[in-house]
Amino acid sequence: MCRVLGYIGEPLAISKLILEPDNSLVNQSYDSDYHHMVQLAGFGLATWKKDTLTANYPFIYKGTKPPFYDRNLQSLCESHETNLLLSHIRAAYYTYEAVVHEHNCHPFIFPGFRLALAHNGWIYGFQEIRFPLLNKCRPEIIQNLEGSTDTEVIYALIMSQVDDPTKDLSVDEIIDAINKTVKIILDVQTEYNCEGISVIKLFLADSNDLLVANLGIGYNRQLNVPGDWQKLTNEELQELKSDSEKDALYLLKSPVWSLKGKNFGDYDGFKMESAADEDVRSVIISSEPLTEDFTGWSQVPFQHICFFDNNNGNPKVETKPFPFN
């Protein structure tokens, strides 16, 4: 699957998130159990920095070159700080249907909008239901589409659920829009009899908030998916890879990781200094922990949402079951 990273907090060199940690986002791109199945199909980041000319809108960098070969990316990461970051490495299967182009690189954000989206997963039956899903979007929003990915359609659906997609949306408005979008996907899949797993791990950010929704739809289009796939041994995980159905279930129910504290940096290995909730200054969310030492990392479980807002430099963190009802 793809790899995603989000950060909110005190100013930090982008390289300390993207390049330098033991299991940095770039390292994850070439040290994957699924490398034999997927190709690197693009990299992208959106970064916000206070006290800039466009503090409410991100600087966007995208490219189809593998990130470990991208000198421009290295230079950007080493010379720029961020208060809020959303970054993504795209994976695509080795097939003639895969389109490797900057238009398909995450994060997605339409002109004039403030909310950006990156996605780790897939919508089952997307090629069959793409146009029915687009018909659920507002015309003035889908005219911004440029690529061919399911993620861009999800983004258009989410933004079609809010009255004014150009405004600074509240966390509640974002959650409500995601909830309506998942229900639309489920209804369209039911109409077209699409029975398969949809992994919907959504990472969203604007200049104030960072949010991850670890969601999905199981076989037979159910939201309550049985099975505890987080307690498997390494041997059991390897066995999963020979069973495509069980492997997809594991990917569906796998967690997203978060780390909170302050002063994330390289001192005797990359670490985040622990802090009481009232003293938290930075939060990282990632598809995998960025450090070899998992101490301090927490899981965002399946069918849960975790969100962080700036709270005047003291990020507030909350995890809770996703609404759906």
As annotated, the active-site residues are: 2
> Along the 325 residues of the chain, how does pLDDT read in single tens digits?
678 999 999 999 999 999 999 888 888 766 554 444 445 668 899 999 988 878 899 999 998 777 777 888 889 889 999 999 999 987 655 455 666 557 888 899 999 999 999 999 999 999 999 999 999 999 999 999 998 899 999 999 999 999 999 999 999 999 999 999 999 999 999 999 998 999 999 999 999 999 999 999 998 888 888 766 555 555 555 555 556 667 778 788 888 999 999 999 888 788 899 998 888 999 999 998 998 888 899 999 999 999 988 777 777 888 999 988 7
Q: Regarding beta strands 198-205 and 116-122, do their DSSP bridges make them parallel or antiparallel, or are they unpaired?
A: antiparallel
Q: Rounded to an integer, what distance in angstroms lies between the CA atom of residue 200 and that of residue 186?
A: 12
Neighbouring residues of 129: CB distance < 8 A, sequence distance ≥ 6: 123, 188, 189, 192, 194
Separation between Cα atoms, residue 136 and residue 123, nearest integer Å: 16
Enumerate the domain spans of the chain.
1-319
What pLDDT is stored for residue 214 in this prediction? 96
68: tokens are: 């470990």
- The predicted pLDDT at position 38 comes to 44
Question: Which contacts qualify for 273-281: CB closer than 8 Å, 24 or more apart?
Answer: 277/317, 278/314, 279/314, 280/314, 280/315, 280/317, 281/9, 281/10, 281/313, 281/314, 281/315
Helix (H) or strand (E) run with residue 17 in it: helix 15-18
d(CA 211, CA 319) in angstroms, rounded, equals 10
- Amino acid in position 114: R
Structure tokens at 11: 């100013």
3-class SS of residue 295: coil
State the pLDDT at residue 244.
Answer: 66
The CATH number corresponding to 1-319 among 3.30.420.590, 3.60.20.10, 3.20.20.70, 3.50.30.60 equals 3.60.20.10
Determine the residue type at 95.
T
pLDDT value, residue 17: 93
At 25, which helix (H) or strand (E)?
helix 25-30
Beta carbons of 8 and 315 less than 8 angstroms apart: yes
Instruction: Residue 87: count other Cβ atoms within 10 Å of its Cβ.
Output: 29
3-state secondary structure of 286: strand
Q: What is the pTM for the complete model shown?
A: 0.91
Element (H, E) at 172: helix 171-191
Two tokens at 231? 């307690």
DSSP per-residue letters across 27-75: HHHHS-TTTTTEEEEEEEEEEE-TTSTTTTS-EEEEESS-GGG-HHHHH
